[in-house]
Chain A
Amino acid sequence: MDTPLLELWNVSKFFPGVVANDKVNLKLNQGEILALLGENGAGKSTLVKMIYGVNSPSEGAILWNNHEVTIRSPNEARAMGIGMVFQHFSVFETLTVYENIQLGLDKEFLDTVSDLRQIIIEKSEQYQLHVDPERYVHSLSIGERQRVEILRCLIQDVKLLILDEPTSVLAPQEIEGLFEVLRQLSNEGCAILFISHKLKEVTALCHRAIILRGGKVAGECDPGKETPNSIARMMVGNETQLSETYPKVETDQILFQTNQLTLTPSHPFGCGLKSVNLQLRAGEIYGLAGVAGNGQEDLLAVLSGEDTRSSADSIQWQSKNIGNWDAGKRRKLGLAYVPANRLGQGAVPEMSLEENTLLTHSNKLSTNSIINFPKLKQLAKDLINNNQVKCRNEEAQAKSLSGGNLQKFIMGREVAQQPKVLICAHPTWGVDIGAASAIHRQLIELRDAGTAILVVSEDIDELFILCDRLAAIYEGRVSQDIKTADTSIDQVGEWIAGGFISQAEVAHA
């Protein structure tokens, strides 16, 4: 390779009180797939945002085709041939694919094309993206929406494509499809910067990997020659035990269950719930696999009591019918809940960690409605220390914490209630490997203490490591559960694509 497509020279980015990136040097050649790895808060997102023109570097230089450039905005980045697919898609659900793509393009560019619709169809065929320009985005699956985002980048001849954790929202079958597209692009000379937490994918796809730690480049390797475990060690930098296996257990005391729980969707594009039966047993972890948007949100809301539309007898706590109880009453029974949305649901962004501790410990920390502040402060401090939450102190606002640290805090807070039933959504979503195994151990300890635990996750590997029983959710239906020991990733993979429904219908017929 002669001159690299993109080069970073000693690029640093300072935020108030934080060095997000510290003298990062990086080279990316044409047609190369480069993985950007690192723990949470290692500075991956900041780095790619600088390349995409969202932020500009505090120091250092960015070179594009051997010329120093200043990328002032994503518009400029797109004009140069840099495309980016964010974790959270920026598409309008009520518009069609065509309209969404048109909205994202510059006026100058639109003037140069004669028939955008034709180009969409051609590009879609060329890369086998199967995107129909006339469909409304709300009718598309998450995987299809991601392909719309990718297509949007491809319309303007893209030379560098940045993907921020693209596989976290996809089913295993969809991931392979995405990789095919990326490999094809790479063969045509397009460079790809791939951010991921999933090391297996990095070893399967990427030509080279750069590891960030604490904002600095900590290492570089050829993923083909490494194992997921050896790369993970480079990322965390110490001898954390990785992908531990925990002994599976089996009990028969049902604590919490739903009976034919059926619910209309809470928003127009949701899928609601259809005759859901699930049983949580004391001392067991029940894992619910599924691709995002298959009714998990509705299910979590109705189980936690945030949504009280269900009939009383559709949810039972031992022998009590609690379907119409609100979240406060269910908490008093011993229910704890770690929600998917950490900032804004699990924690109030503007409030301190101390006040956020009070959020779900209010009954214990007050007498006659007077808050016991010394006790509250102590509990908040303990939560921070025991869970290695990185923050200024207990008075730091929740919004100032990184996503992974806030998750550690919320997880610790809910576990500290010593709940009888714990509902846990995406426990390690966006959390680094070190913290993820700490969270896993916490859950296992809680299980061994006799808590019934429900884990809803999109990460099948995690569910297999953690859970004693597994089931899948697809379009608002939940499959039969099965002991983890008796199933395989392939089978659960089929289930989350709806495989269990036809099976059940066949069995009935």
Chain B
Amino acid sequence: MLRAQPRLESSKLMSWLSPFIAVALTMIVSSLMFLWLDVDPLKAFQVFVIMPFSDSYNLGELIIKSTPLMLCAIGLALCYRANMWNIGAEGQLLIGAVASSAIAVSATDDAGFGTYLLTIGAGVIAGAFWAAIPTWLNRRFHTNIILTTIMLNYIGLYILLWAVHGPLRDPSGFGFPESAMFADAVMMMPLLESGRATISIVIAIVIAIAAGLMLFKTLPGFKLRVMGAERSAAKYAGFSENKIVWLVMLFAGAMAGFAGASEVMGPIGQLVPSVSPGYGYAAIIVAYLGRLNPVGVIIAALFMGALYMGSDLAQIELGLPTAVTGLFQGTLLFFLLACDFLIYYRFVPKRPLRKPSSRSLINEEGAA
């Protein structure tokens, strides 16, 4: 039998391997799920994992799904590194989308670059503002940031619903809860000639790399990591906790707000009630899958984007419900957190409770 033994030092190898082990275990468990649903697991994986990368159309759609995940997860990775449990990317994204739309609906085709920047800026600032509320409550009244950010997600969602049913509804839209389509002047530049993918993905990757450098090569990044790892050591060293907390929270909010802006200004092109299929929540998993490393988040976001794509394709190809994606994600996060156990512990053979018998001693000598 095996037993767990604490490691003297955390394993670097395992901290790289554990996401892969988690993905493998998720595959095994979901195979059982597919068998139970009478779907050939091999066929299912072909749809979920291979098809999203198979042709340029699917690849473009994959990038569209990955972009908001990546943007949100970069900010969340920094928050979690600093021990700030911001669950509010979803709400920050939605508020960013609403604010951007509020500017975009009144823009005409001859609007200039200034209006374009204003549209993006509105989303970024609104997202940061939405993150500032729980941060202020936490700093001022020591409220639990997990609870307040989750509550603000719901408030954000209802503000979005109010906006599409009220002030931002398209007057000539036959009463559908949608805004008018935005003018081309306030749309994100497309990445390629064809397809709906925009330059947002490029911006996301650049910011991810910059955030990675900041985190590991600069003093502010070091201070952030110290504060997350051991608050009293940060206090001892004289690192300002308030400054770090505000910076990571506002940054995460701004990133989520930008994700919301780039959704309505990009692939969707208008404000709709279903701006986000839970990107802000899935980004939590992306942040962990990427080892809370902004550069790792790039790969993790593409993987999670493929899962979203896969669930769309699975509906078409296999007739599976979208809830399968949620199951997938949940299983993955579960194994991801469980596998981190391996970083701090290792498995060693259980010693016999009694003193080793003479026979086993002989065996050992024989083996040697």
Report the separation of the CA atoms of residues A369 and B222 in the bound assembly, to the nearest whole angstrom: 10
Query: In residues 274-330 of chain A, which contact B (Cβ within 8 Å)?
Result: 304-306, 326-330
- The answer to whether A327 touches B222, judged by C-beta atoms less than 8 angstroms apart, is no
Report the separation of the CA atoms of residues A330 and B222 in the bound assembly, to the nearest whole angstrom: 20
- The answer to whether B8 touches A306, judged by C-beta atoms less than 8 angstroms apart, is no
**In the assembled complex, which residues on chain A have CB atoms less than 8 Å from the CB atom of B229?**
348-351
**In the assembled complex, which residues on chain B have CB atoms less than 8 Å from the CB atom of A392?**
9
Contact of B366 with A by CB under 8 A: no
Contact of B354 with A by CB under 8 A: yes
Residues of A in contact, count (CB < 8 Å): 45
B353 and chain A: residue at smallest CB distance: A70
Query: In residues 345-399 of chain A, which contact B (Cβ within 8 Å)?
Result: 345-351, 355, 358-360, 362, 366, 369-371, 373, 392, 396-397, 399
Report the separation of the CA atoms of residues A68 and B353 in the bound assembly, to the nearest whole angstrom: 13
Q: List the one stretch of B34-42, B168-176, B233-241 in contact with chain A.
A: B233-241
- The answer to whether B237 touches A371, judged by C-beta atoms less than 8 angstroms apart, is no
- The answer to whether A371 touches B219, judged by C-beta atoms less than 8 angstroms apart, is yes
- The answer to whether B230 touches A371, judged by C-beta atoms less than 8 angstroms apart, is no
Contact of B194 with A by CB under 8 A: no
Report the separation of the CA atoms of residues A392 and B8 in the bound assembly, to the nearest whole angstrom: 11
- The answer to whether B233 touches A359, judged by C-beta atoms less than 8 angstroms apart, is yes
- The answer to whether B222 touches A349, judged by C-beta atoms less than 8 angstroms apart, is no
Contact of A247 with B by CB under 8 A: no
- The answer to whether B235 touches A355, judged by C-beta atoms less than 8 angstroms apart, is no
- The answer to whether B219 touches A56, judged by C-beta atoms less than 8 angstroms apart, is no
B344 and chain A: residue at smallest CB distance: A350
Q: Contact string, B206-231, partner A, CB cutoff 8 A, digits 1/0?
A: 00000000000111101101100110
- The answer to whether B10 touches A350, judged by C-beta atoms less than 8 angstroms apart, is yes
Distance to closest chain A CB from B274 (angstroms): 41
- The answer to whether A328 touches B354, judged by C-beta atoms less than 8 angstroms apart, is no
**In the assembled complex, which residues on chain A have CB atoms less than 8 Å from the CB atom of B346?**
16
- The answer to whether B237 touches A362, judged by C-beta atoms less than 8 angstroms apart, is yes
- The answer to whether B238 touches A327, judged by C-beta atoms less than 8 angstroms apart, is yes
**In the assembled complex, which residues on chain A have CB atoms less than 8 Å from the CB atom of B217?**
370-371, 373
**In the assembled complex, which residues on chain B have CB atoms less than 8 Å from the CB atom of A366?**
218-219
Report the separation of the CA atoms of residues A305 and B239 in the bound assembly, to the nearest whole angstrom: 11
Contact of A495 with B by CB under 8 A: no
- The answer to whether B219 touches A362, judged by C-beta atoms less than 8 angstroms apart, is yes
Contact of A427 with B by CB under 8 A: no
Contact of B142 with A by CB under 8 A: no
Report the separation of the CA atoms of residues A366 and B5 in the bound assembly, to the nearest whole angstrom: 39
Report the separation of the CA atoms of residues A327 and B354 in the bound assembly, to the nearest whole angstrom: 54
Pick the most buried of A328, A339, A370: most chain B CB atoms within 10 A of its CB: A328
- The answer to whether B233 touches A348, judged by C-beta atoms less than 8 angstroms apart, is yes
Pick the most buried of A328, A351, A359, A373: most chain B CB atoms within 10 A of its CB: A359
Report the separation of the CA atoms of residues A328 and B9 in the bound assembly, to the nearest whole angstrom: 30
Query: In residues 171-222 of chain B, which contact A (Cβ within 8 Å)?
Result: 217-220, 222
Contact of B232 with A by CB under 8 A: yes
Known: A326-B238, A328-B238. A344 touches B218 (CB 8 A): no
Report the separation of the CA atoms of residues A59 and B346 in the bound assembly, to the nearest whole angstrom: 21
Q: Contact string, B328-368, partner A, CB cutoff 8 A, digits 1/0?
A: 00000000000000000010000101110000000000000
Contact of B7 with A by CB under 8 A: yes
- The answer to whether A360 touches B222, judged by C-beta atoms less than 8 angstroms apart, is no
Number of A-B contacts (CB under 8 A): 91
Report the separation of the CA atoms of residues A304 and B235 in the bound assembly, to the nearest whole angstrom: 10
Pick the most buried of B225, B229, B237: most chain A CB atoms within 10 A of its CB: B237
Known: A369-B219, A369-B220, A400-B8. A328 touches B237 (CB 8 A): yes
- The answer to whether B236 touches A327, judged by C-beta atoms less than 8 angstroms apart, is yes
Known: A70-B354, A72-B353, A337-B236. A362 touches B222 (CB 8 A): yes
Among the listed A328, A345, A362, which residue makes an inter-chain contact with B232, where contact means beta carbons less than 8 Å apart?
A: A345
Among the listed A17, A327, A349, A369, which residue makes an inter-chain contact with B237, where contact means beta carbons less than 8 Å apart?
A: A327
Report the separation of the CA atoms of residues A475 and B222 in the bound assembly, to the nearest whole angstrom: 38
**In the assembled complex, which residues on chain B have CB atoms less than 8 Å from the CB atom of A329?**
238
Contact of A109 with B by CB under 8 A: no
- The answer to whether A326 touches B240, judged by C-beta atoms less than 8 angstroms apart, is yes
Query: In residues 62-103 of chain A, which contact B (Cβ within 8 Å)?
Result: 68, 70, 72
Contact of A253 with B by CB under 8 A: no
Distance to closest chain A CB from B229 (angstroms): 5
Distance to closest chain B CB from A15 (angstroms): 7
B218 and chain A: residue at smallest CB distance: A369
- The answer to whether B236 touches A371, judged by C-beta atoms less than 8 angstroms apart, is no
- The answer to whether B9 touches A345, judged by C-beta atoms less than 8 angstroms apart, is no
Among the listed A68, A306, A348, which residue makes an inter-chain contact with B355, where contact means beta carbons less than 8 Å apart?
A: A68
- The answer to whether B236 touches A304, judged by C-beta atoms less than 8 angstroms apart, is yes
Contact of A447 with B by CB under 8 A: no
Q: Contact string, A428-472, partner B, CB cutoff 8 A, digits 1/0?
A: 000000000000000000000000000000000000000000000
**In the assembled complex, which residues on chain A have CB atoms less than 8 Å from the CB atom of B8?**
15-18, 400
B227 and chain A: residue at smallest CB distance: A348
Among the listed A328, A346, A396, which residue makes an inter-chain contact with B233, where contact means beta carbons less than 8 Å apart?
A: A346
Distance to closest chain B CB from A30 (angstroms): 25
Known: A68-B355, A348-B230, A400-B9. A328 touches B219 (CB 8 A): no
**In the assembled complex, which residues on chain A have CB atoms less than 8 Å from the CB atom of B230?**
344-345, 348-350
Contact of A118 with B by CB under 8 A: no
Distance to closest chain B CB from A39 (angstroms): 20
Distance to closest chain A CB from B78 (angstroms): 16
**In the assembled complex, which residues on chain B have CB atoms less than 8 Å from the CB atom of A346?**
233, 236
Contact of A341 with B by CB under 8 A: yes
**In the assembled complex, which residues on chain A have CB atoms less than 8 Å from the CB atom of B240?**
326, 328
Distance to closest chain B CB from A194 (angstroms): 28
**In the assembled complex, which residues on chain A have CB atoms less than 8 Å from the CB atom of B223?**
362
- The answer to whether A396 touches B218, judged by C-beta atoms less than 8 angstroms apart, is no
Report the separation of the CA atoms of residues A15 and B8 in the bound assembly, to the nearest whole angstrom: 8
**In the assembled complex, which residues on chain B have CB atoms less than 8 Å from the CB atom of A350?**
10, 229-230
Known: A70-B354, A370-B217. A345 touches B10 (CB 8 A): no
Query: In residues 235-257 of chain B, which contact A (Cβ within 8 Å)?
Result: 235-240
Contact of A61 with B by CB under 8 A: yes
Known: A346-B233, A370-B217. A355 touches B354 (CB 8 A): no
**In the assembled complex, which residues on chain A have CB atoms less than 8 Å from the CB atom of B233?**
344-348, 359
- The answer to whether A348 touches B226, judged by C-beta atoms less than 8 angstroms apart, is yes
Report the separation of the CA atoms of residues A327 and B238 in the bound assembly, to the nearest whole angstrom: 4
Report the separation of the CA atoms of residues A121 and B236 in the bound assembly, to the nearest whole angstrom: 44
**In the assembled complex, which residues on chain A have CB atoms less than 8 Å from the CB atom of B238?**
305, 326-331
Among the listed A72, A328, A355, which residue makes an inter-chain contact with B239, where contact means beta carbons less than 8 Å apart?
A: A328
**In the assembled complex, which residues on chain A have CB atoms less than 8 Å from the CB atom of B235?**
306, 327, 345
**In the assembled complex, which residues on chain B have CB atoms less than 8 Å from the CB atom of A305?**
238
**In the assembled complex, which residues on chain A have CB atoms less than 8 Å from the CB atom of B220?**
369
Known: A327-B236, A346-B236, A350-B10. A359 touches B218 (CB 8 A): no
Report the separation of the CA atoms of residues A303 and B232 in the bound assembly, to the nearest whole angstrom: 15
Distance to closest chain A CB from B343 (angstroms): 10
Report the separation of the CA atoms of residues A68 and B354 in the bound assembly, to the nearest whole angstrom: 10
**In the assembled complex, which residues on chain B have CB atoms less than 8 Å from the CB atom of A304?**
236
- The answer to whether B239 touches A306, judged by C-beta atoms less than 8 angstroms apart, is no
B242 and chain A: residue at smallest CB distance: A326
**In the assembled complex, which residues on chain B have CB atoms less than 8 Å from the CB atom of A396?**
9
Q: 6 A-B Cβ contacts within 8 A?
A: A15-B8, A18-B8, A337-B236, A350-B230, A358-B222, A399-B9
A: residues with CB less than 8 A from B are 15-18, 56, 58, 61, 68, 70, 72, 304-306, 326-331, 337, 339, 341, 344-351, 355, 358-360, 362, 366, 369-371, 373, 392, 396-397, 399-400
Give the 7 A-B CB pairs with smallest separation, nearest first: A328-B238, A327-B238, A369-B219, A348-B230, A397-B9, A400-B9, A369-B218
B: residues with CB less than 8 A from A are 5, 7-10, 217-220, 222-223, 225-226, 229-230, 232-233, 235-240, 346, 351, 353-355
What would 11 more interface pairs be, CB under 8 Å, given A349-B229, A350-B10, A359-B236? A17-B8, A58-B351, A305-B238, A327-B238, A328-B239, A329-B238, A344-B230, A350-B229, A366-B218, A369-B220, A371-B219
